């Protein structure tokens, strides 16, 4: 895809995630991004509303420079802002990239990842803000969750948004990949929200919608006597079934 098509898809995805009826974000919550190539990506500017996304909502950022910030030691808030500003392709733009740009950069540097959607969905936070959050998300509840959201989500404790969160996400993704032999599709941050990781914009929308459905199922099951998780052998079977693999292929990036 060319630069204009990527930005157009990012705008459409961001508007979809920002629709009030979805209850994923309100006001200036959440942020989104899309990879242009190995050198650049677009990320939402700080304070912008996802529902009102347009060409002026996003900043073009240098991908390697943004990833490198994760290894620059202990930086204070002003230093982090300066590093992010210096990573922008157009340093004269008065807008500033989201404080969470570093985790977007890291995730977009992974093979097969081209779009990211981070929201504070009410259904998800009803789970992540509960005392039982880790137990509730420890198993899978239905086949569609597995097909669209992966074999398991990453669940992590709250980290200060920004550099600290970016470093913790990198650590958790490396551990996940070593354990499962694949990258995650969903990252859950306690008391914060959900990060959907996709090959394209449509996949990010589908992951976000499906995991919100999953959290509503979890909430209902917990109310009606507790969650009955699928057996791990059934989870593994669904994840590797040829017919289910066909459904996953709908998100393949066209040549």
What is the sign of the dihedral through the CA atoms of 232, 181, 133 and 127?
negative
Which pLDDT belongs to residue 248?
Answer: 57
Which pLDDT belongs to residue 229?
Answer: 96
Pick out the chain residues at pLDDT < 70: 1, 243-255
State the Rg of the chain over Cα: 18
Which pLDDT belongs to residue 246?
Answer: 59
CATH number, residue 51: 3.40.225.10
Which pLDDT belongs to residue 92?
Answer: 87
Which pLDDT belongs to residue 245?
Answer: 61
pTM, 2 dp = 0.94
- Give residue for tokens 């600290």: 164
Query: Domain containing 95: what range?
Result: 3-251
Q: Is 30 left (phi over 0), alpha (psi -120 to 50) or beta?
A: left
> CB neighbours (10 Å) of residue 38?
10
Which pLDDT belongs to residue 255?
Answer: 37
Count of structural domains within the chain: 1
Sheet (strand 31-35) strand order: 58-62, 40-44, 31-35, 115-119, 193-198, 186-189, 154-156
Cβ-in-10-Å burial (0-12, 13-18, 19+) of 95 comes to middle
- Give residue for tokens 């669904």: 238
């Amino acid at each position: 895809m060319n630069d204009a098509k990527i930005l157009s898809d990012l705008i459409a995805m961001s508007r979809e995630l920002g629709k009030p009826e979805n209850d994923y974000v309100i006001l200036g919550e959440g942020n989104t991004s899309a990879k242009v190539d190995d050198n650049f990506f677009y990320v939402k500017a700080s304070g912008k509303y996802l529902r009102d996304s347009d060409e002026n909502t996003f900043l073009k950022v240098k991908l390697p420079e943004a990833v490198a910030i994760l290894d620059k030691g202990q930086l204070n808030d002003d230093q982090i802002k300066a590093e992010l500003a210096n990573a922008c392709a157009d340093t004269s733009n008065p807008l500033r990239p989201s404080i969470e740009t570093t985790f977007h950069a890291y995730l977009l540097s992974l093979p097969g990842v081209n779009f990211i959607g981070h929201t504070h969905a009410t259904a998800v936070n009803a789970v992540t803000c509960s005392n039982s959050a880790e137990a509730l998300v420890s198993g899978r509840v239905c086949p569609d969750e597995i097909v669209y959201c992966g074999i398991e989500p990453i669940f992590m404790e709250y980290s200060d948004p920004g550099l600290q969160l970016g470093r913790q996400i990198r650590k958790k993704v490396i551990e996940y990949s070593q354990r499962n032999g694949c990258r995650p599709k969903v990252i859950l941050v306690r008391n914060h929200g959900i990060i959907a990781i996709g090959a394209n914009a449509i996949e990010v929308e589908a992951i976000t919608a499906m995991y919100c459905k999953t959290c509503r199922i979890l909430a209902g099951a917990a109310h009606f006597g507790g969650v009955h998780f699928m057996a791990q052998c059934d989870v593994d079977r669904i994840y590797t079934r040829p017919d289910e693999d066909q459904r996953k292929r709908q998100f393949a990036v066209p040549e």
